[in-house]
Amino acid sequence: MIKTIAVMNMKGGVGKTTMTANLAGSLAHFHQKKILIVDVDMQANLSQYFMEPEEYASWIKREGDFKKKETVLSIYQKRRIVNPSTVRKKSKKEPPKLILKNLTFRVYENGNAYVDLIPSTLELMDLDTTNAENRLKIFLNTIKDKYDFILIDCPPSMYFFTKSALIAADSYLIPVKPDHLSSFGFVLLEKAIKQLEEDTEKNLIQIGTVFTLFKDTILMNRTMANMKALRGRYFFDNYLKDLTGTGEAAAFNKLIFEYPRAIDNVAALKNITDEFISRINDIENE
């Protein structure tokens, strides 16, 4: 069963976060799915996509309505394992138990369907990563049943947080901008994933590669065709265009189907989402 998907690319600015946000929203909007999105990028762009600046600031400072709220950092921090029989009083130092309700911010609702976000924070910078790689997986395993899909928005690197996402995930989706330099990174990415699969002795399922930030130029069309000629890769037929309104939607904390100036990418987004679902069905029925 495909449930947890890492949205990744070593390159930054290729539309990963915008794709994660809108694919999640679209799965809830058009397919009535319950979605969890997890921001493991310390730049916290996915969090800021959905949260107003004051809201985000209060959340990470645990102020006002957000006193008990936590970020993805809590998931990565060491939890002390206490033997109940030897503990009389709860030590103040003991980190509180992770409660899903305190970790999630509901960013979209459509009847019974919704999108919940686990926000990120720059504080991930100071995380002691010793033995922490598996913690995201361990946590997600405890709450998996509550969602149809979990999308993890990765930072633009193959280091710790992306690795931990790939360890937690059963599959991955690669958003890519069809420009010349991105096409080099694309080949390297494949090598990096193979290496991780070897290191962790697991097989990751590729949901596929989806183009975004597409401009109808001769060069982009050529680059897209060249990339599609790579063997062993699955490419989505549909892609998001590079449109001002699409970038703008984030500034208003809106999904592109909620933002009139982004309307020209909505059909493409819906088609990508349909492809995402049918691709997963195909893989599961193989």
Binding residues (CB under 5 A) for Mg ion: these are 16-17, 45
Please, which residues bridge with residue 110 across strands? 113
45 binds ligand ADP (CB under 6 A): yes
Binding mask 151-170 for ligand ADP (x = CB under 6 A): -----x--------------
Would you say 15 or 119 has its CB closer to ligand ADP? Answer: 15
185 binds ligand ADP (CB under 6 A): no
CA–CA gap between residue 260 and residue 267 (Å, rounded): 13
CA–CA gap between residue 227 and residue 210 (Å, rounded): 11
Would you say 75 or 250 has its CB closer to ligand ADP? Answer: 250
246 binds ligand ADP (CB under 6 A): yes
Of 107, 35, 56, 153, give the one whose Cα is nearest residue 254. 107
Could you say which of 243, 266, 269, 272 contacts ligand ADP (CB under 6 A)? 243
The item of Mg ion, ligand ADP, none sharing an interface with residue 246, based on CB under 5 to 8 Å by kind, is ligand ADP
Give least dist CB 17 to Mg ion, A: 3
Q: How far are the Cα atoms of 20, 156, 177, 235 from residue 215, in angstroms, in the given order?
A: 20, 22, 9, 17
Residue that the structure tokens 């999630």 belong to: 104
Q: Which of residues 2-31 bind ligand ADP (CB under 6 A)?
A: 12-18
Could you say which of 240, 266, 269, 280 contacts ligand ADP (CB under 6 A)? 240
CA–CA gap between residue 238 and residue 52 (Å, rounded): 30
Torsion of CA 103, 31, 110, 106, to 10 degrees: 10
Terminal Cα distance for the chain, rounded = 12
- Tell me which residues touch ligand ADP (CB under 6 A): 12-18, 45, 156, 212-213, 240, 242-243, 246-247, 250
